[in-house]
Structure 1
Amino acid sequence: MAQTGVDTDDGVRLSVLVEEPERAAVTVVLAHGWTLDTRTWGPVAAGLLRGPRPPRVVRYDHRGHGRSDPAPPETMTIDRLADDLAHVIAATAPDGPLVLAGHSMGGMALMALAERHPAMAARAAGLAFVATASGGLARTAFGLPERGAAVARAVDRRLRELPGRSRRGSMGPPWLLAPALRWLLLGRHPDPLARLLTVRAVAACRPQTVAGFRATLDEHERDTALAAFAGTPTVVLAGDRDRLTPLAAARRITEALPSARLTVFPGAGHMLPVERVPGVVAELDELVRGAVEGAPARQSPG
């Protein structure tokens, strides 16, 4: 594994991990979600590298996340994440077929890539939208009834105020955050590794990052952007116990992109890259195989 950095056009340096087996024909780029980092794609990356046709695997931390530089507040937008993704691709995979996979906010960055960098998006030979949404997040109630939703909105307001209230470098001790994060992000019976990776990533996130990217999630409306991927083999992966991007969000993507195939993981929550590692690896392996062979992955019937 090689760790490197990619400089963006506004001076933010992104931390990038590249794993490159011999004779890899395809590059898989994995974009993580809001408040997370490259660790949450680690089990999937390892699974891909053990596969019959291991690809190059590129993981990176979004600006403000993980080991990447802090982000100026005005740049904490999904548009800017799409620009960063274009920089990562240009630096690490300037040619050859790509399989792009985005979890949560990372999936939203893939959608914005089609708007802002269509030539780069057109290089994708496969796409995976993992526990993500094409819009409607401003109206989410986190799966709660109205009384509970009011509490969630109060917590949301506190999140937005974090930059002015907190000088901490992280969200807090993992043991303190674990119960709430398990309820919000994970489904039924998550294994210890899924719990550990999820809690450690969120706990380490900068409060300014958590608050700074909150508004752009509400503003994200990119149903029309999905049309750019109509000819690209695409899978949409969802957990039926996802409170952040519920199953309705996945169905909305497939309605806007009828060529995409939806796979639902029973009992899984929002953290599919750590909760359902074999299933996610199998879906990406199929996209890689299609990219190598030049044959489309299977599509949804009808």
Structure 2
Amino acid sequence: MTAIEARPVAGRPPAPWDPVREHRFVTSDGTALHVRSSGPAAAPLTLVLVHGWTQDHRTWDRVVDEFDRMGDTPARMLRYDLRGHGASAPARPGTATIEQLADDLAELLAARVPDGPLVLAGHSMGGMTIMALAERHPELVERRVAGVAFVATSCGSMDRITLGLPGVLGTGAAAFERRLAALLLRHRKDRLPLRPATVYPGTRLLVFGRRPRRADVRDVAAQLLVAHPASVGGFQQSISRHDRRVALARLRGKPAVVLAGDRDRLCPLPHAEAIAAELPEAGFVRYPGAGHMLAHERAAGVAARLVTLVRTVAERQGRRA
């Protein structure tokens, strides 16, 4: 793969291209995305890790560490912050949609990984982005996507989520989430005026399963606090409209894995089962006691599944060569 020099992140001195440094990629509508690449530039395939709502590329830190510890794997890794998240620029008005995220991903791949097979892994909204990529860029998916991993995500019916609460409580929680999204859309500041200690309890309750590590909860809360509020609100509304069960058909026949925690409140287990039903050849892994943040709660398990997926794809590609 050809190394492409990118403009450095704002506030940092210019530096030559290096695979372990962060970079900036500017989309066709002028939105700067924060990108990080690692691994051998000459690897025969690229593993692309797409994070979820309110998070950023750091979601995958523990998985990447575990992946690297598991020995020689023929893959380069590409991570980036979705628009409105992490160190990427806020989503421009009207662009905080999953459709736009799919277009961003297609542009990023064309610029940074112009050839070679791809394995795509998406957590939560990142998985939805991959589904939207299959819907909006079918030729790219057919020609280059050789494997896919869906981690704690959904192919639809997100407007019916009750956060694991029964009856009226669940209905009220869902209504509150919609009202909060509308309020965030009108928020004019770049960051929420909250302290980590303020969001820690809610983060622990909503997105983690049994006995989470404090460092993991702090990490997830810290990522939430640097997400752009209005962008977060827009994406929540787009998530509620997400319906891409049909799009999954474009991924049939490719090596795939679906990973889910049985205590996930945001994308409950039946949502993962619905994806697996559309991809009958996919491996399905259920993690007892785990919540929504599988890349934190079960990092070694997620990494092991990605290693297996990458090696399977590499073997298939080798047989075709």
TM-score calculated relative to the size of structure 1: 0.93
Instruction: Say if 2:249 and 2:278, in contact at 8 Å, map to a contact too.
Output: yes
Match of residue 229 from structure 1: 251
Q: Which amino acid aligns with 2:38?
A: E
Q: Quote the Cα distance in structure 2 between the aligned partners of 1:171 and 1:184.
A: 20
Deviations 1:159-183 (A, max 9, x none): 3212325535236211100001100
Q: Which range moved further: 219-228 or 50-59?
A: 50-59
The 1:22/1:208 distance shift into structure 2, 3 A limit, reads closer
Q: Quote the Cα distance in structure 1 between the aligned partners of 2:145 and 2:165.
A: 37
The 1:167/1:22 distance shift into structure 2, 3 A limit, reads closer
The answer to whether structure 1 residue 148 and structure 2 residue 166 are counterparts is: no
User: Could you tell me how far 1:45 is from its partner in structure 2?
Assistant: 1.6
Q: Which amino acid aligns with 1:51?
A: M
Q: Quote the Cα distance in structure 2 between the aligned partners of 1:169 and 1:127.
A: 33
Match of residue 108 from structure 1: 128
Match of residue 89 from structure 1: 109
Deviations 1:220-266 (A, max 9, x none): 10011000011111100000000000000001111122222210011
Q: Aligned match of 2:79 in 51, 59, 65?
A: 59
- How many residue pairs get aligned? The number is 296
The 1:22/1:154 distance shift into structure 2, 3 A limit, reads closer
User: Could you tell me how far 1:192 is from its partner in structure 2?
Assistant: 2.8
Instruction: Say if 1:241 and 1:268, in contact at 8 Å, map to a contact too.
Output: yes
Gaps of 5+ in 2: 1-19
Match of residue 185 from structure 1: 207
- Runs of at least 4 residues off by over 4 Å: none
Q: Aligned match of 1:138 in 140, 150, 159?
A: 159
Instruction: Say if 1:35 and 1:209, in contact at 8 Å, map to a contact too.
Output: no
Match of residue 26 from structure 2: 7
**Cα RMSD (Å):** 1.7
Deviations 1:177-223 (A, max 9, x none): 00011000001011233212211111222211221111111111001
Q: Quote the Cα distance in structure 2 between the aligned partners of 1:119 and 1:74.
A: 26
The 1:155/1:115 distance shift into structure 2, 3 A limit, reads closer
Alignment of 1:150-299 (within 5 A): 150-152=171-173, 153-165=175-187, 167=189, 169-170=191-192, 172-294=194-316
Secondary structure in 2 matching 1:91: helix
TM-score calculated relative to the size of structure 2: 0.88
The 1:22/1:83 distance shift into structure 2, 3 A limit, reads closer
The 1:93/1:168 distance shift into structure 2, 3 A limit, reads closer
Q: Quote the Cα distance in structure 1 between the aligned partners of 2:118 and 2:188.
A: 40
Secondary structure in 2 matching 1:180: helix
Instruction: Say if 2:255 and 2:313, in contact at 8 Å, map to a contact too.
Output: no
Q: Quote the Cα distance in structure 2 between the aligned partners of 1:157 and 1:206.
A: 17
Deviations 1:70-91 (A, max 9, x none): 1113011111000011112112
The answer to whether structure 1 residue 129 and structure 2 residue 150 are counterparts is: yes
User: Could you tell me how far 1:109 is from its partner in structure 2?
Assistant: 0.4
The 1:74/1:165 distance shift into structure 2, 3 A limit, reads closer
Q: Aligned match of 2:138 in 78, 101, 118?
A: 118
Q: Which amino acid aligns with 1:58?
A: L
Instruction: Say if 2:21 and 2:37, in contact at 8 Å, map to a contact too.
Output: yes
Instruction: Say if 2:191 and 2:225, in contact at 8 Å, map to a contact too.
Output: no
Gaps of 5+ in 1: 297-302
The answer to whether structure 1 residue 30 and structure 2 residue 49 are counterparts is: yes
Secondary structure in 2 matching 1:17: strand
Q: Quote the Cα distance in structure 2 between the aligned partners of 1:253 and 1:50.
A: 30
Q: Quote the Cα distance in structure 2 between the aligned partners of 1:76 and 1:168.
A: 15
Q: Quote the Cα distance in structure 2 between the aligned partners of 1:168 and 1:69.
A: 10
User: Could you tell me how far 1:155 is from its partner in structure 2?
Assistant: 4.0
Q: Which amino acid aligns with 2:159?
A: A
Instruction: Say if 1:98 and 1:125, in contact at 8 Å, map to a contact too.
Output: yes
Match of residue 4 from structure 2: none
Q: Which range moved further: 218-227 or 165-174?
A: 165-174
Q: Identity rate of aligned residues, in percent?
A: 45
